[in-house]
Amino acid sequence: MTPSPDDSARATPAAPRVSVVMTVYNSECYLAEAVESVLTQTFSDFELIVIDDGSADGSLPILRQFEKRDRRVRVVSRPNTGIVGAANEGIGLARAEYLARMDSDDVSLPRRFEKQVRYLDAHPECVIVGCRVVETEPHGIPVSTSGHLLSHEEIDAQLLRAGGGWALVQPATMMRTAAVRAVGGYRGKYNISEDHDLFLRLAERGKVANLPDVLFKYRRRFDGATQSHLHQLAEAKERLLREAHQRRGLPLPPDWKPDVWTPVEPARQLRTWGWAALKAGNVKAARKHAAAALRRAPFSAEAWRLMYCALRGM
């Protein structure tokens, strides 16, 4: 029997406006909050493609529950390949005109998709749009608000510097799917700075922008960077920036040198988080950070002052 037009429509649902690609690897502590922040967006015409990159914790059962609950969620689970392979797999499955990235430990604020879709609709020359973000400590307590540059010229100039990967916050971006595919998606040889490399190539294809709105919570956690990792990061930055200048026919500045981000010293980072938690009224978190800071630096007067204030709850 030939299916009716109505049957065909039900069998092949229309493509959504946005495909959200989230990669997951051992994120059970933060995963539910991250997924909920996507599913509760004011803009609802999206699909959420989650690539479980071989998680060994409780991430996959959490994802399966969301998949059962919401038809927009699609979970793909397979052995670990790393962030580049997982992200490109999600991009390959995307059906929408727009592609939103999302990390499994961050939070999208409710109007993020709505405002980014509106901007891309109104600016066809723009291939990627980000936003300003609230940086939080591991418990989600706000620490600072970013002041990301907004215009193409400002962002592109920042991208051409070694530390320019932060010019756009990868999990807070929305891109044109066709543009991402046209430049080849993420590249495996830059598995450390894959986002910076992609942003540079997109900026050569169209305009890039950040919205002035704070639409995202970016969770800071301890970076497990070793000296070996930092050396690889410096090499990757140098390669991708040299290639970008060559593609554009630009010489590297004569005094150019890799200016690679290095993680904050742990005891100092813990003190910063502790004071932020205390300011937010979360005494329990402040005490945890103070205790951890003291374990790392038991003779630090600043750590003891944080502990004193945290114990007093002030």
Collect contacts of 204-207 with beta carbons under 8 A, ≥24 apart: 204/244, 204/247, 204/248, 205/127, 205/179, 206/125, 206/126, 206/127, 206/128, 206/176, 206/179, 207/123, 207/125, 207/126, 207/127, 207/152
| Integer angstrom CA distances of residue 240 from 91, 114, 170, 243, 267 | 22, 33, 17, 5, 32
User: Cα torsion for 298, 304, 307, 312, to the nearest 10°?
Assistant: 150
Structural domains of the chain ordered from first start:
14-247 (3.90.550.10), 266-312 (no CATH)
Span 43-85, pLDDT tens digits: 999 999 999 999 999 999 999 999 999 999 999 999 998 899 9
Note the pLDDT of residue 8: 46
Q: Which of 207-211, 227-231, 298-302 has the lowest mean pLDDT?
A: 227-231
Mean pLDDT of the chain: 89
Tokens standing for 275?
């004071």
> Confidence band (pLDDT; 50, 70, 90) for 223?
low
Neighbours of 127 (CB within 10 A): 25
Span 240-299, pLDDT tens digits: 999 999 999 998 777 766 666 666 788 888 888 888 888 888 888 888 888 988 888 888
Contact 286, 274 (CB under 8 A): yes
Amino acid at residue number 281: G
The string over 206-226, giving b where at least 16 C-beta atoms fall within 10 Å of a residue's C-beta and e elsewhere, is bbbbbbeebbbbbbbeeeeee
Asked if pLDDT for residue 233 goes beyond 60, the answer is yes
Q: What are phi and psi of 49, to 5 degrees?
A: -100, 115
Span 128-155, pLDDT tens digits: 999 999 999 888 889 889 999 999 999 9
Amino acid at residue number 35: V
